[in-house]
Amino acid sequence: MKKSLLVVALSGAFAMSAHAQSSVTLYGLIDAGLIYTNNQGGHSNWQEVTSSTQNTVFGLKGTEDLGGGLHAVFKLEQGFLLNNGAQAFSGDGFGSQAWVGLQSDPYGTLTFGRQFDVMNDLVGPLTAGTNTWGGNMAAHPFENDNLAADSVVVNNMVKYASPTYRGVTFETMYAFSNKAGSFANNRSYGFGVSYTEGPVNLAAGYLQFNNAGGAGSAVTTGDTSANFLAQRQRIWSLGGNYTFGPATVGLVWSHTQLDNASGVFSFGTGTYLGANDPSAGSLTGSLRLDNYEANVKYALTPALSVSGAYTYTHGAYNGSSPGWNTGMLQADYSLSKRTDFYLEGVYQNVHGAPADSVLSHAMINTLSPSSSNTQVAVTVGMRHAF
């Protein structure tokens, strides 16, 4: 009897030890609210919306300690629309993220699967578009530089992230086309580097999509992972911010080149404007966009913060020079570490674009385009993380 009790006790101890070395976590974030827009297709609009600032998601993430500083890691995440329960990425079981990999304490992390790109990882956090104090509505026009973590997720990706050494982190990625005989078609690759030391944060990166939105692989139109239809999309970005006391100020520049562009995705309508919706205007040829963003966040109290951002986007399109002015203001109040309320307003104006082009219509990210060159949106919402 005593031997049996000893065996049971030892078995329980080993089980507890094994459990302590690995974990699986259910997590998520819900963002929902009401939004007023002065012009969507020529009409003002009141809507119940989700993910105006942060993506509404749930997921599983886990790690297993393999010994010697090596860990197996994974993440499975699904984005969804809270107001109707639909998938954010149509037809994808885990459209937001789905990857597995190995993490080495001294050598870095190697992951495989559907993931956010490296520039989004490192430069994105310096923009208002990625952060809770700005979010998806504050993204640059058409989310052209992929710096707001709301839409573009890349398939078939192998990604390496270095450990942090003296404040420096490096990431690189390659996403396969997975098509026999078309190795370079619809693939993606890029790299990014960041530096963090005390109040200073700096980052830079490069990202390229070949045949963005084409049939197949890296980014597709099937689940609207592609923001643009284009033969090639290249993005450079550089940014930094500085924190002093309760304030953080930042500057970000990005440059996007689209070769043989034919369409841009409208999050509000769920279609590629200029491609399968001729009534919205055309989009053909090459498009160049330079985004210049200045942002600031100030904590008035531990619970109450205010923030703002302004982005000027200069374009070059078929001999014209369109320009966008996008401004954002937000006030946020936290009830707890996991629940907060926000009030946010966004203004966008575009000028200089050809009248028969989709570029001539203001279109705040996540909303249907305006019938004019100006759009204003105000939203009040609630977020809860678990």
Report all structural domains of the chain as residue ranges with CATH numbers, in order of start: 33-385 (2.40.160.10)
> Angle at Cα 153 formed by Cα 75 and Cα 205, nearest 5°?
105
Long-range contacts of 96-101 (CB under 8 A, 24+ apart): 96/55, 96/57, 96/59, 96/153, 97/59, 97/153, 99/74, 99/75, 99/157, 99/159, 100/72, 100/73, 100/74, 101/72, 101/73, 101/74, 101/159
Whether the CB-CB separation of 119 and 237 falls below 8 Å is answered with: yes
Residue that has been written with the tokens 């100020």 in this structure: 249
Half-sphere exposure of 281 (CA within 13 A, CB side): 19
What's the pTM value of the predicted model, to 2 decimals?
0.91
For residue 43, the SS3 value is strand
Helix (H) or strand (E) holding 65: strand 57-67
* pLDDT of 154 strictly over 50: yes
* pLDDT of 10 strictly over 90: no
List pLDDT tens digits, range 206-243: 999 999 876 666 888 888 888 899 999 999 999 999 99
Percent of the chain with pLDDT over 90: 78
Residue that has been written with the tokens 């284009």 in this structure: 230
* pLDDT of 96 strictly over 60: yes
Q: Where are the alpha helices (DSSP H) in the chain?
A: 2-20, 118-122
State the chain's mean pLDDT as an integer: 91
List pLDDT tens digits, range 253-311: 999 999 999 999 888 888 899 987 777 788 999 999 999 999 999 999 999 999 999 99
Q: Which residues, in sequence order, are CB contacts of 255 under 8 Å at separation 6+? A: 145, 235, 236, 237, 288, 289, 290, 291
Tokens describing residue 213: 């939105």
